[in-house]
Structure 1
Amino acid sequence: MDQFTKLTQGISQNFSPFAEKMGANFTQLKQLASEKLGATNPITELPREYVELESRFEGVRIFHAEMVKISKTFTQSEGDTELKQLKTQFIGITNTLGDRFNSLTGSTKAAHHPQASSQSSIGVETEPQTIQHAISSVCIENSEKIGLEEPLGASLYKFGTASDKIGDSRIRMNNAIREDVVAVLQSETLQLIAVAQQSRKDVQGSRLALDALKSAHKTAVPAKESAIRAEVEKAEDIFVTTVEDAMKHMRQVLESPVIIQAICSFASAQLEFYKESEKILTELIPDLDEIKLTQDALYGHSEQ
Structure 2
Amino acid sequence: MDFATSLGKGISNFGSQITPFASRTFQYTKEQLGQSEDKTQLPPDYIDLEKRVDALKQAHQKMLAVTSQYSNEAYDYPPNIKETFQDLGRTVSEKVNLLSSATSPAEAQAALVAPPTAKPQPKTFSHAVARASLSSSQLLHQRHTGAGEDPLATALEKFALASERVGEARLAQDAQVQSRFLAGWNTTLNTNLTFATRARKNVENSRLSLDAVKAHAKGTTFKLGTGSNAGEHPDEHELSPEAQEEIEKAEDEFVTQTEEAVGVMKNVLDTPEPLRNLAELIAAQIEYHKKAYEVLSELAPVVEGLQTEQEATYRKSREEAS
TM range (shorter): 0.7 to 0.9
**Matched residue SS, 1:45:** coil
Cα shift at 1:189:
6.7
Q: Deviations over 1:257-276 (max 9, x none)?
A: 21111011111111111111
Matching residue of 1:175? 175
What does residue 29 of structure 1 align with?
Answer: 25
* Runs of 5+ unmatched residues, structure 2: 1-17, 84-104, 142-147, 221-232
Other-structure match for 1:105: none
Q: 1 CA distance for matches of 2:200 and 2:129?
A: 51
Matches of 2:219 and 2:33 in 1, distance apart? 19
* TM-score where L is the length of structure 2: 0.70
User: Once structures 1 and 2 are overlaid, which stretch shifts more, 199-208 or 285-294?
Assistant: 285-294
Shift of 1:86: 4.0
Which residue identity lines up with residue 184 of structure 2 in the other structure? V
Q: Which residue of 2 aligns with 1:135?
A: 129
**Matches of 1:289 and 1:73, distance apart in 2:** 35
Q: CA deviation at 1:119?
A: 7.7
1:74-127 deviations in Å (ceiling 9; x for gaps)? 3421178x5342466xxxxxxxxxxxxxxxxxxxxxxx69x94x9856745924
Output one character per residue of 1:234-271: Cα deviation in whole Å (capped at 9) or x when no partner: 11111111110000001111111211110111111111
* Partner residue of 1:235 out of 225, 231, 250: 250
Structure 1 unaligned regions, length at least 5: 1-21, 89-111
What CA distance in whole angstroms lies between the structure 1 residues aligned with 2:315 and 2:136? 25
Q: How far did residue 218 of structure 1 move?
A: 2.7
Q: Distance in 1 between matches of 2:301 and 2:186?
A: 45
CA–CA separation in structure 2 for the residues paired with 1:73 and 1:83: 15
For residue 244 of structure 1, what is the amino acid of its counterpart? E
CA radius of gyration, larger in: 2
TM-score, with length taken from structure 1: 0.74
1:71 corresponds to which of 64, 67, 70: 67
User: How many residues of Structure 1 are paired with residues of Structure 2 in the alignment?
Assistant: 257
Distance, in Å, in 2 between the alignment partners of 1:121 and 1:163 is 20
CA contact (8 A) 2:169 2:291 kept: yes
Moved over 6 A (4+): none
Report the CA distance shift for 1:203/1:276 in structure 2 as closer, same or farther (over 3 A): same
Tell me the distance in 1 between the aligned counterparts of 2:296 and 2:81.
Answer: 21
Seen in structure 2, the aligned counterparts of structure 1 residues 38 and 28 have a Cα distance that, compared at 3 Å, is same
For residues 61 and 119 of structure 1, what CA distance do their matches in structure 2 show? 53
Instruction: State the distance in 2 between where 1:68 and 1:162 align.
Output: 31
Distance 2:64 2:79 in 1: 26
Counterparts of 1:128 and 1:141 in 2: how far apart (Å)?
Answer: 16
Does the 8 Å CA contact 1:181/1:265 hold for their aligned counterparts? yes
- Counterpart Cα distance in 1 of 2:75 and 2:219: 68
Distance 2:21 2:56 in 1: 29
Alpha-carbon RMSD: 2.9
Distance 1:260 1:59 in 2: 15
State the partner residue of 2:5.
none
Shift of 1:184: 2.7
TM alignment of 1:12-161, pairs within 5 A: 23-78=19-74, 83-86=78-81, 116=109, 123=115, 126-147=120-141, 149-161=149-161
CA drift of 1:231 comes to 1.8
Contact 1:79 1:128 in 2 (8 A): no
- CA drift at 1:41: 1.3
Q: Say which structure is richer in helix.
A: 1
Structure 1 counterpart SS, 2:78 = helix
SS in 2 for 1:85: coil
Q: Residue 282 in 1 paired to residue 297 in 2?
A: yes
Contact in 2 for aligned 1:41/1:215 (Cα 8 Å) = no
Asked if structure 2 preserves the Cα contact closer than 8 Å seen for 1:87 and 1:134, the reply is no
Distance (whole Å) between structure 2 residues aligned to residue 127 and residue 84 of structure 1: 16
CA offset digits 1:143-162 (Å, max 9, x no partner): 12211921221121121111
Instruction: Find out whether 1:249 has 2:264 as its counterpart.
Output: yes
Aligned residues of 2:57 and 2:189 also touching (Cα < 8 A): no
**CA–CA distance in 1 between the matches of 2:75 and 2:190?**
29
Please report how far the alpha carbon of residue 140 of structure 1 lies from its aligned counterpart in structure 2 after TM superposition.
1.1
